[in-house]
Each structure stands twice: as structure tokens, then as C-alpha cells.
Structure 1
């Protein structure tokens, strides 16, 4: 009797094992973002695209973090309450924590309007002039400035090492050199 029970148990076990082997396997696959970082154009375009969205539109923060090299910094420059020049250093996680909720609540679209780049070997410095809008359809920006983006290529892809930015003000307008050429 014990042999019959054991045989029944083993045959049930082998059938369920066989059924598990034949069942389609669901893969927990991470999205492949490698195309977003193969060229300087792609990584800069992705940077602007991933932070942009209308009110209520969630951002892909996993893609955002994928753009940055370990220990990368985002550096905002501006004035404090006493009108003194200052900078604020953040890592990508700090940026998401400080700005992510506001961007979703209020809407934020940053568009590149001009770029100058200098590349030597595996490093590149991009001066990217931007305009910021709350909605995609807005005609007038509520803010303009320049992102200074330092990039590193490890032989496989481009990484953002730092982004250091300054917003335009009445006292510091964007120089013509960093604006689109006027059509004649």
C-alpha cells in the first residue's frame, strides 16, 4: 500500500513538474533603454523628453535615472532670498524628490532651442539653450535658460556626468551666440 501511495505521489509530482516546464514563462524583463544613450543627440533628446509632460502626466523616472553615471550631479544655479548667487547640488534621486511632484501637478515641458557641442575623445560638453512651458500647446515660455551638460562615453554608451544650469533673467539675458539664428 505504501508503494502505491508513493508511486501515485511521484507520478503526480512528475506530471506537475512536466506541466510547469511546458507552461509559458513570464519574464520580468527590464525595458531596454540602450537606444536612448547611443549618441549625444539621443541622450540629450531623451533628457528633455523624459522630464516633459502636461499636468497629471507621470514621468518615466527609471529612464531618467538610466541616463546618469554613478555619482552624477544636477546643479541648479540662481539667487537665494538675499539675492546672492548660489548653487544647489542634487543627485538624480534628489531631483526626482524635489521636482517630480511639482512637474506632474503643474505641467512642465522643456524644449531645446539651440545647442553647441565640443567633443574630445570620450568626453563632450553640450551647451543646450532651452525654453520651458507648462503645456505642450503654450506659445510663450515661462522660463528660458542654458543647460551645461557634461557627457562621458565608456565605449558602450553615453552617460550624463553633470548638468549645470542657469535660468535667464533681465540682468543675464541669453547671449545671441546661444540662441537660434534669426531667419532673414
Structure 2
């Protein structure tokens, strides 16, 4: 009987270890290149109304002390920034994303790299549902990343929405030809 119980416990821990290894391999694939890291970033915040986001994966994209920095107008109509941690972003935006639906889709990218650092200027369109044909918002994410020799980490995301006063320049839009 002891052998049977020991065997069941051993199988449980082997299965648990296998699941953790599989999750780690999955994460490794999602952050192994600049492309996969940016793709994962957009995928993890996107979802239809009522669709839970994978906030654990979201947090794993960011280096410790990373910031998310939206720009906008304050009450005096002056341009300002707000500094958030990934956890702050989840607290301030998570409920809204779940209740309203939000899909952010990259439509164009300019990437500059030097050694283990990269800067990605990523033009996006935002939709409430995958079925939407017209975006309700567009803008540019300025994403700074670093590679520690094992994977890519997001260090900062600094973004601005398009407005009538500040349309997205043609050089940051896909060619229409």
C-alpha cells in the first residue's frame, strides 16, 4: 500500500513538473525574438468583451522596474505623461478591457537595434472586437527592449494616440501601393 501511495505521489509531482516545464518552454518561445515578444504583447492585451486576459504572461514580458507610459492631455489641456508599472496597468485597464473588448493590432513597425538593446516604433490600430472593420483608435507604441542573453525583455512602452492635431506620419504607416 505504501508503494502505491508513493507511486501516486511521484506521478503527481512528475506531472506537475512536466506542466511547469511546458509553461516555461511556451514562455521561452514567446520571448525568444523581438518579433515573438511584440506579437505576444499585442496578443495578451487583446480579447473580445468578456474574455479574460493572461495577466501572468503579460507581467512576464517586462523587466523588473519596467514602465508603461501613456501620453495625453491633462485638465489644463497640456500634454503630460503617466508612469505605470505592469501591475498598475492591469489595475487601471484590466476591468475596462474585459468589459468593453479591445484588440490592438500592429499595422507597421520600425525597429532599430544595437547590441542587446532595441527600439521598436510600432503603429497600431484598436478595435473593440475581432469582427470590427474600422478601428476606433490608432497610435504609436515606442517600445524599448533588452536582451539579457537568454530572452527579450520589455523595459518601457511609451505611447501616444493619434489625434486631429497629431495624425500618424505616412512614414509610420503601411505602404498603400
Q: Which category describes the TM-score, using the shorter chain as reference length?
A: over 0.9
More displaced, 24-33 or 65-74?
Answer: 24-33
1:146 aligns with 2:140: yes
Query: What is the match of residue 84 of structure 1?
Result: 78
Between the aligned partners of 1:78 and 1:182, the Cα distance in structure 2 is 29
Query: What is the match of residue 115 of structure 1?
Result: 109
1:58 aligns with 2:52: yes
For structure 2, the 5+ residue unaligned runs are: none
Which residue of 12, 30, 38 corresponds with 1:25?
Answer: 12
Task: Give the RMSD, CA atoms, in angstroms.
Answer: 1.0
Which residue of 89, 95, 116 corresponds with 1:101?
Answer: 95
Between the aligned partners of 2:42 and 2:76, the Cα distance in structure 1 is 31
CA drift of 1:80 comes to: 1.0
Decide which structure has the larger Cα Rg and report it: 1
Between the aligned partners of 2:7 and 2:56, the Cα distance in structure 1 is 33
TM-score computed with the length of structure 1 as normaliser: 0.89
The aligned length equals: 168
CA drift of 1:21 comes to: 1.9
